[in-house]
Amino acid sequence: MNWFVSAGNRPPAPVRLFCLPYAGGGASVFRRWQEGLGPDVEVLPVQLPGRENRIAEDPHFDIADVAAAIASRADRPYAIYGHSMGGRVAFEVVRELRRTGAPLPLRLYVGAARAPHVTAASFFDGLSRVDDAELLRRLADGGGLPVEVLDHPDLVELLLPQLRADFGRVDGYRYLPGEPLPVPIVAFSGVRDRAAAGEHSAAWAEHTAAGFTLHEIDGGHFFLLDQLAELLAAIRADLTAALMV
């Protein structure tokens, strides 16, 4: 199965960036990242099952399978970015990579994501337990679903299994304590984020023994959509510095 969406044939880049989407998102969320980061970074969005070109598959997935897919492409320095749900998925992927002895990333980037041990209520909590209408309404209110999607019942019907699976993962997530990662963590927090407050992003510092940085982005929960240039500039500068160490 194809876990990655590539930007096409390009000259080899010195570093790869694997990207994991928010709940309900697919690899297309990152379609502008390759152009924004430039030729020195190869962007490889992870296409989780049950969405976009994998829409026919069961949308549930195992962390071990995602980790194995990334490890299979870890033939050069790499980093991982995860947004919202994708941040906690990325964290668990790195823990699985450490467990299996696979090469670890230069950086773990997490955007709009509460640290794994944080249990404080979030704007998007509990969505796996509400009916379809309430699920769609709250997603649209929070900016996680374009309102025009609701005008296309066939598209909504396709999206609902994926949304249910993802928010089931969000609601069912339980952090199991472990040793901090030997990987630097860089967290990005939207100053107007209603789902992941700044202090909940800052709490990622507890999960690394290799250095932590917090960047505030002038946006809400989905700043990767409307403040992309600011986000990519910070990632590009940090990755460049990491490669020089």
User: pLDDT tens string for the chain (245 positions)?
Assistant: 689 987 667 788 999 999 999 988 899 999 999 999 999 999 999 999 998 999 999 999 999 999 999 999 999 999 999 999 999 999 999 999 999 999 999 999 999 999 999 987 777 778 778 888 888 888 777 766 666 666 777 777 888 888 889 888 888 889 999 999 999 999 999 999 988 889 999 999 999 999 999 999 999 999 998 899 999 999 999 999 999 87
Residues with active-site annotation? 84
pLDDT of residue 122: 75
pTM here is: 0.93
pLDDT of residue 146: 62
Q: Beta partners for 185?
A: 108, 212
Structure tokens at 49: 């099952």
Query: What's the pLDDT score for residue 149?
Result: 67
| Cβ 170 vs Cβ 125: under 8 Å | yes
Q: Which residues pair with 160 in a beta bridge?
A: none
pLDDT at 241: 92
| pLDDT the model gives residue 64 | 97
